[in-house]
Amino acid sequence: MLTLGSVFRYPGGSRLDHASAGYSFSHNFLSDLGMTVAYSGQPNPLGALLFTLSMSIVAVGLGGTLLGFVRLCSETPHARRLSRAAAAAGAIVCVGFLGVALTPENRGLELHIKFTMLAFRVFPLVPLLLALASRYSTSLPRRVSVAWTVLAAVLAAYVVVIGWGPGTETPEGLTLQISAQKIVAMTAVLIFVYLSVEADRVAAAFNGTGPQPIPTKNQAPQLRSEPE
C-alpha cells in the first residue's frame, strides 16, 4: 500500500524521457519512486518517504520471516548449518535493501546501485540454502523445497539479466530491465506468501519442543494433550 501510494505521488519522468507524466510501469524502476526529486525535475518528498518506509518494512519483514524459516529447518545438525548460512546471507540481503531504501537515486546513484547489486547477487543463496536445508526436514513437505528452488532459479536468472543483459541506455534495454525487475519482485512476493502459509501450517502442529513430522495418508496426526 505504501508503494502504491508512492506510485500515485510520483510526479513523472524516466531515465530516457524526463518529460513523461506520472509513473510508468514499463519505463520506471521501483527505485525511481524513492527519488526526492523526480526525473522531471519536480520535488517528490512524500512519494520518496512512502517508498523508503515500504522498502524498510520489506527488509525488516524479510529478516523476521527468514528467522522463522531457519527455526523450522533446524531439526538436524546438517540442516541447521545450512539454515544458519541462509540466515547470514539473508542478513546481507536485508542490509542491501535497507541501503537501497536510504540512498535515493538522485542523491547517491553510485551507492544506490552498489546496494542493489549486493542485495540481488547474494539473494539467490538464501532460497538455495533453505531448499537444501528443507530436504533434511521431517516436518516440511517436499513442495516447500521445490518452492525454494524455484525462487533461487528466478533470482539467479535476474542476476544474469542485470549483470549481462541489455543496458538501460536504449528504450528496449530499459523496458526489459524494468519488466524483469517487476516480474522478479512479484514472483518473490508470491512465493514468500505461499511459503509463509506452509510454515504457519507446520508451526500450528508444534508440540513445544520442535516441528513434528507431516503425517502420512494412513497415519493420524498426534494431538497434544492438555495439562491436568
Cell numbers representing residue 6 in the block: 508512492
pLDDT at 110: 92
* Claim: this prediction has a pTM higher than 0.85: no
Residue 212 in domain: no
Q: Which residue has the higher pLDDT, 137 or 170?
A: 170
* Summary mean pLDDT of the chain: 88
pLDDT at 206: 62
How many independent structural domains does the chain possess? 1
pLDDT at 213: 46
Going by C-alpha positions, the residue among 54, 202, 178, 192 that lies closest to residue 126 is 192
pLDDT at 203: 78
Average pLDDT of the segment spanning 98-118: 93
Q: Residue 177 contacts by C-beta under 8 Å, 6 or more apart in sequence?
A: 29, 161, 162, 165, 166, 168
Residue 215 in domain: no
The whole domain housing 123 covers 2-203
Residue 208 in domain: no
